[in-house]
């Protein structure tokens, strides 16, 4: 089993929520909050801060949270995923993409009215918690948990079901 731990950041500016456009291996594109896989032995917040800086050029000085976490299990495909999502309290810098992995190809603040269109087509484990947070904007210490089971085989037979925490 491949186990991934991911940190993701909710960064809100005057223009809206910061999203990054990802170009995946299968040439699929999606928009998500910035963040990424935490390297072995790396503290989660240190890894999240590093990922955000690489993907967006913004240096986050303080995080609050996690405000929500996501757990996915895809036994048939041999992986599990744990995501902790934090809210940026303070940051500085100019938005610019310098992703060494070449996955993030664009980063920008997105107004609330434009979020739905950009987020459409995302995996449920990205879309559902983020949509909940966008509609309610709860803050730490409130912390929500989302669990999903992924079954089937890609690309066409994948079924994602939410399970009780």
pLDDT in tens, 27-59: 889 999 999 999 999 999 999 999 999 999 999
pLDDT score of 156 more than 90: no
Query: Which residues, listed in sequence order, are joined to residue 63 by a DSSP beta bridge?
Result: 88
CATH superfamily of 2-163: Nucleoside Triphosphate Pyrophosphohydrolase (3.90.79.10)
| HSE-up of residue 42 (Cα within 13 Å, Cβ side) | 17
Share of the chain above pLDDT 90, in %: 92
What does the alpha-carbon distance between residue 146 and residue 161 come to, in Å, rounded to a whole number? 11
Domain boundaries, the chain: 2-163
Q: Would you say 165 and 69 are in contact if contact means Cβ atoms under 8 Å apart?
A: no
For residue 84, give the 3-state DSSP assignment. Answer: strand
pLDDT band at 2, cuts 50/70/90? Answer: very high
Q: Which of 18-22, 26-30, 150-154 has the largest mean confidence?
A: 18-22
Higher pLDDT, 106 or 164: 106
* pLDDT in the model for residue 165: 66
* pLDDT in the model for residue 121: 87
Q: Would you say 55 and 22 are in contact if contact means Cβ atoms under 8 Å apart?
A: no
* pLDDT in the model for residue 10: 98
Q: CA-based diameter of the chain, in Å?
A: 43
pLDDT score of 103 more than 80: yes
What does the alpha-carbon distance between residue 1 and residue 73 come to, in Å, rounded to a whole number? 10
Mean pLDDT over each residue of the chain, to the nearest integer = 95
pTM across the whole model? 0.95
Gyration radius from the chain CA atoms: 15
Helix (H) or strand (E) holding 132: helix 124-136
């Amino acid at each position: 089993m491949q186990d991934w731990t991911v940190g993701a950041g909710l960064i809100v500016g005057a223009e809206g929520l910061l999203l990054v456009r990802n170009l995946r291996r299968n040439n699929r594109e999606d928009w998500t909050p910035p963040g990424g896989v935490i390297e072995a032995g790396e503290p989660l917040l240190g890894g999240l801060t590093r990922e955000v800086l690489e993907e967006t050029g913004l240096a986050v000085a303080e995080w609050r949270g996690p405000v929500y976490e996501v757990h996915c299990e895809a036994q048939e495909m041999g992986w599990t995923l744990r995501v902790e999502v934090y809210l940026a309290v303070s940051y500085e810098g100019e938005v610019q993409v310098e992703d060494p992995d070449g996955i993030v190809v664009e980063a920008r603040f997105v107004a609330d009215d434009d979020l739905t269109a950009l987020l459409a087509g995302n995996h449920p484990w990205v879309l559902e918690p983020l949509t909940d947070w966008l509609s309610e904007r709860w803050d730490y210490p409130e912390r929500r948990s989302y669990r999903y089971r992924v079954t089937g085989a890609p690309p066409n037979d994948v079924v994602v079901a939410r399970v009780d925490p």
